């Protein structure tokens, strides 16, 4: 069994939330994996795909395929990017049998971070300690396209001194949606507001997610509303000692 994983940190992780990526590496290394970061990586192409620019998305996807051609396991600290690669790449290469085959092979090698821990590394307890009250936001693509629901909660349940509280609207969208958040800013902000109202009722100090983009949306709105709550990527909780 290869003990080597390649990290796809995502463009948003690279540029805005590097600590989450570092935390992923720390957790994986703590479990004995050798973590490789292919330097030529950029973005998965989702922004173009979701905006209706498929040729452009295909070009970026093609680059991704090349960069990660040899990787056995590709770990992604995002459900949304993970789903783009694992599910939507195939739609982009429908008319290109060779690339399509490469996409289908890729589907089995791409792992959202929490899924990798539970299903490949097969651990629930990574030895973390995080003495805070937290709640968990189900990011949409992880939940509905990758079927990630209980996994992150199971991982959190093993964290020492952590108090978990469920929010009533855990499965409601945070309102990010990529370019939707700026094209339809007022709707997007309203959706974040509904989510935050539910967060607030829990009395949690931190809201945890496996997608930095949801957290950027929520944190930005929380700060705008002048609230004390903080957001944190699951990997950062699991890397805490």
Partner 1 sequence: MNPIPVESLHKTLSDQSLQTAIYDSTARLMLKRRNAVTPVPEFQELRSQANRIKQHAIENLDYYLEQLEQNVMRRGGKVVWARDAAEAVGFVRTLCKDKGVRRIVKSKSMTTEEIELNHELEKDRIDVVETDLGEYILQLANEKPYHIVAPALHKTRFDVADIFTKELGVEREEVIEKQTMIARRVLREKFLTAEMGITGANYLIADSGAVVLVENEGNARLSSSAPRIQIAVAGIEKVIPRAQDLVTFLKVLGRSATGQPLTVYTSFLSGPRRPGEIDGPEEFYLLLLDNGRTKVLADKNKRQSLYCIRCGACLNHCPVYRKIGGHNYPWVYSGPIGAILSPQFHGVTQNPWLPFASSLCGACGEVCPVKIEIPKILLELRSDITKAQSTAGGGGLERFAFRLFAFVMRRPGLYRFLTGLAPRMFPGKQGEWLRDVPSWMKWGPVTGWLSQRDLPPPPEQNFREMWRVRQRQSRPERQRQSSEVR
DSSP-derived secondary structure for 81-116? HHHIIIIIHHHHTTT-HHHHHHHHHHHTTEEEHHHI
Stretch that binds partner 1, among 9-17, 106-114, 116-124, 153-161 (CB under 8 A): 9-17
Using CB under 8 A, count the residues that bind partner 1. 74
**Which residues pair with residue 209 across a beta bridge?**
233
Residue from 74, 134, 191, 235 touching partner 1 (CB under 8 A): that is: 191
The answer to whether the CB of 169 falls within 8 A of the CB of 195 is yes
Instruction: Count other C-beta atoms under 10 Å from residue 118's C-beta.
Output: 18
Minimum distance, C-beta of residue 74 to partner 1, in the bound complex (Å)? 16
**Which residues pair with residue 18 across a beta bridge?**
none
Residues from 16 through 55 that contact partner 1 (CB under 8 A) = 16-19, 21-22, 25-26, 29, 37, 39-43, 45, 47-55
Stretch that binds partner 1, among 104-112, 156-164, 187-195, 199-207 (CB under 8 A): 187-195
Residues from 62 through 121 that contact partner 1 (CB under 8 A) = 62-63, 88, 91
Residue from 33, 81, 219, 237 touching partner 1 (CB under 8 A): that is: 219
| Nearest-5° Cα angle at 207, 176 to 20 | 80
Instruction: Provide CB contacts within 8 A for 201, sequence distance 6+.
Output: 167, 168
Residues from 197 through 216 that contact partner 1 (CB under 8 A) = 216
Residues from 51 through 70 that contact partner 1 (CB under 8 A) = 51-57, 59-60, 62-63
């Amino acid at each position: 069994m290869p003990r080597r994983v390649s990290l796809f940190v995502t463009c948003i992780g690279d540029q805005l939330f590097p600590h989450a990526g570092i935390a992923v590496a720390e957790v994986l290394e703590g479990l004995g994996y050798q973590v490789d970061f292919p330097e030529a990586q950029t973005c998965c192409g989702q922004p173009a795909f979701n905006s209706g620019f498929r040729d452009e998305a295909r070009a970026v996807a093609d680059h991704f395929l090349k960069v990660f051609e040899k990787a056995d396991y590709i770990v992604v600290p995002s459900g949304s990017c993970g789903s783009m690669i694992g599910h939507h790449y195939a739609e982009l290469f429908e008319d290109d049998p060779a690339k399509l085959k490469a996409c289908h092979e890729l589907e089995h090698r791409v792992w959202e971070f929490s899924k990798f821990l539970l299903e490949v590394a097969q651990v629930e307890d990574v030895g973390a300690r995080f003495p805070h009250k937290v709640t968990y936001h189900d990011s949409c693509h992880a939940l509905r396209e990758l079927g990630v629901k209980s996994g992150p909660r199971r991982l959190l349940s093993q964290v020492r001194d952590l108090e978990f509280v469920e929010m009533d609207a855990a499965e409601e969208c945070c309102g990010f949606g990529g370019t939707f958040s700026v094209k339809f800013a007022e709707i997007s902000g309203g959706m974040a507001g509904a989510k935050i109202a539910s967060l607030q009722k829990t009395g949690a100090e931190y809201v945890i997610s496996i997608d930095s983009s949801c957290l950027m949306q929520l944190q930005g709105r929380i700060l705008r509303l002048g609230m004390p709550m903080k957001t944190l990527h699951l990997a950062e909780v699991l890397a805490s000692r």
